[in-house]
Structure 1
Amino acid sequence: MEVFPEERKRYILDQLEQSPKVRVTEISRKFSVSTETVRRDLGELEGEGLLKRVYGGAIKTNDQSEPPLLSRQQVKATEKEKIAKSAAALIKDDSTILLDVGTTVLQLAKEIKDKRNITILTNSFLAAGALMENIDKDYFSGTVILLGGQLDPRQYSMTGKVAEMVLEQFTVDQAFISVGGISLENGLSDFDFDECMISKKMIEAAKEVVVLADGSKLGTNTFCKFGALEDVDIVVSEVAMPASWQGNEKFRTVEWMTTRD
C-alpha cells in the first residue's frame, strides 16, 4: 500500500515523542522506501524546525522557536501556492478581511486578484507590500490597512499591545490564519507568543475564520495555543482530513477544503 510523504513524516514525529532518536534505516525498512527518501523527509522536517538531523537519523529538537519568515518561504512552496489559490477563491467583492503573518498567508496576499472594493487589514509588512503591488497592477481594487504596533524584525510584522488594541476596533468578514500546528488536543498553536496573541485577536474580530495549514501542520502541537477547533469555520489544506479526525465532535462545524492540482 502506498504511503504518502506526510504520513511518513507524521510517523517520524510520533516516534520522536516516544524515543530520543529515529534511525534512517529503520524508517526505510518500515515504509519500503530508499534511505535517500527518508533523508529528504528528515531534511524537510528539520527545515520546519520540528527535529534535528544527526548521523544516521534525527533527534527531537528542544528549540520551540520558529525560523525567521524569509527562511521559511521556500519550505513547501508548491503546497503553499495551492492552498493560497484555493483560499483566494473564498474572498468576495466588497468584503473586509484580515491576514496574519504566516508564509502561506503571504502567498495568499500575492494570489488576491479579480476582486473589487475589498478592505484588507494585516500586520505583515511583506503582505502589505504584495497587496499594494497588486493594486498598482490593477489586479484588484480596495484599501490596505497596515496595523500599527511593535516591530518584529524576524517576521517583518507588527505585534504587541498596540496592535492588539487596534484590532479590537474592527469587525471583519473573514480572517485568514496560518498555524504552526493544528491538533485535536490543542486546537490551533504557533511558535511565537506575540504572533499568537495577534492571531487570537483576529479570530475574535472575524465573522468567519479560515485556517491555512499544509499537511506537515496536521497533528502538530507547537509552543503557544491561540484558538480552539470550534473557532474555525474552514480549513484549507493540500491533504485530506486525517481519517482519525473524521467524525470527531470538534470538527462538527468545520468545513475541510482540500486543494486540487
Structure 2
Amino acid sequence: MTDRKRDERISVVLALLSRRAELQVRVLPETLGVSGATVRRDLAVMEGTGLIRRSYGKITAARRGVELPVSLRHAQNAEAKRRIGALASSLVPSRPLMIALSGGSTVGCVARSLAARGELTVVTNGLDTAAFLMARQLVQVVVTGGTARALSNDLVGRGAEKSVRSHRFDYAIVGADGISPDAGFTRHSTRGAEIDRAMLEQAECRIVVADSTKLGRVRKAVSVDTGSVHTLVTDSFAPPEMVAALRRSGVTTTLVRVPPRPVNGRPRGT
C-alpha cells in the first residue's frame, strides 16, 4: 500500500476517535477494508507519531485537538477540500493579480486550481504550495523567508512576516483550524496565525477556506476576528446555525456541495 492510502486510513481512524472515547482494534480490519497485519502497521505508525495510545486490544486518542502533520490533513475530507479549492479559485478574476496563499491542505487545493493561471503572481509561505506551483511553471511564485515548521511544512517567524508585509495583495487566501463567530478564525500555531494575519491585513480581498469540521472549534491562536474577513468558503456539512451567525457578523459564507461523508470508513448509503 502507498503512503497516501495509509494516510487515508489513519484519517478515518482519527475521525472515529474524535467521536468515540476508544476503538476496539479487532473491528478495524473490517471497518477499513484491509488485513489485520496492515492495521497493526498503521497503528504502529500512529503510536510512534504520538497520535494514539494502545492497550489491551483498544486504542484511544493521545490528545484531543492536536495539530496533525500536513500529510495526514491532505487525506481528511479530501473531496470537500478539492471542491472548496475550485470554488475559491473561481472568485479570483482572470487578470494580472498579486495573491497571497498561506500553507495548509485546503489552501493547497486552491493552488492546484490556480496553477494554470499564468497571469498571477503568488506569494506564499507554504512550501508544498510553492513546490506545486513551481512544477507547473506558469504562475510566478515568490516564497517568503522564515523558519520552517515541520508539522505544517510552511515558513513562519519574523523573516516570513517581514516578507509578507513588503507586498500589497489583490487577494489573500488563507486556511483556519478553528472558526467561531465569537472567537474568530484561529490556528493551532501562534506563529502560523501571525503570518495569516499579515497576509489578510495586506490584501484588498480577504478569503478564508476551511472544511466544515473547523466550524465551531476554537484553537489557541487568533489569526483575525470575523470583521477582518470578507468571504469564507466551506462545505455543505457546515452547521446551519454557525453559517447564519457568521453571515450576521458580515462574513459572506459560501457552501460547496459535497457527497455524504463516510461512516465507519464507508460512504453513507452504501
**TM-score in terms of structure 2 length:** 0.70
Query: Runs (4+) of structure 1 moved beyond 3 Å?
Result: 21-24, 51-65, 245-252
Q: Distance in 2 between matches of 1:109 and 1:249?
A: 25
Paired letter, 1:91: V
Asked whether 1:79 is paired with 2:80, we answer yes
Query: Residue 181 of structure 2 contacts residue 246 of structure 2 at CA under 8 Å; is this kept in 1?
Result: no
Deviations 1:228-256 (A, max 9, x none): 11111111111265332355477443211
Partners of 1:23 and 1:56 within 8 A in 2: no
Give the equivalent residue in structure 1 for 2:114. 112
User: Is the 2:247–2:253 Cα contact (8 Å) retained in structure 1?
Assistant: no
Describe the SS at the equivalent of 1:106.
helix
SS at match of 1:115: coil
Q: Does the alignment pair 1:94 with 2:91?
A: no
1:145 aligns to what SS in structure 2?
Answer: strand
2:184 pairs with 184, 187, 202, which one? 187
**Which position in structure 2 is the counterpart of 1:146?**
143
Tell me: CA distance 1:199–1:58, structure 2 relative to 1, closer, same or farther (3 Å). farther
Partner of 1:127: 129
Q: Which runs of 5+ in 2 are unaligned?
A: 1-16, 33-45, 259-270
Q: Which residue of 1 aligns with 2:223?
A: 226
Offset at residue 126 of structure 1 (A) = 0.8
Distance 1:251 1:52, change over 3 A: farther
Q: Distance in 2 between matches of 1:224 and 1:170?
A: 24
**Superposition TM-score, scaled by structure 1 size:** 0.72
CA distance 1:132–1:223, shift in 2 (3 Å)? same
Q: What CA deviation, in whole Å up to 9, does each residue of 1:49-95 have, x standing for no partner?
A: xx979899997865554121112211111111111111111122211
Partner of residue 44, structure 1 = none
CA contact (8 A) 2:213 2:238 kept: no
Root-mean-square deviation (CA, aligned residues, Å) is 3.2
CA distances 1:1-20 after superposition (whole Å, capped 9, x unpaired): xxxxxxxxxxx97xx9xxxx
Find the aligned partners of 1:58 and 1:185 in 2 and give their Cα distance: 34
- Counterpart AA for 1:88: S
Deviations 1:121-174 (A, max 9, x none): 001111011111222xxxxx4411000111223322211011111111111011
Instruction: Tell me which residue corresponds to 2:10.
Output: none
Determine if contact 2:101/2:123 at 8 Å carries over to the other structure.
yes
Structure 1 position 260, deviation (Å): 3.8
Q: Aligned ranges for residues 1-261 of structure 1 at < 5 Å?
A: 62=63, 65-92=66-93, 93-135=95-137, 141-239=138-236, 242-245=239-242, 247-248=244-245, 251-260=248-257
Aligned pairs, number: 222
Aligned-pair identity in percent equals 23
Deviation, structure 1 residue 222: 1.3
Q: Secondary structure at the match of 1:257?
A: strand
Q: Deviations over 1:97-117 (max 9, x none)?
A: 111111111122122144241
Tell me if the contact between 1:99 and 1:177 (Cα under 8 Å) persists in the aligned partners: yes
The range that moved more, 60-69 or 202-211, is 60-69
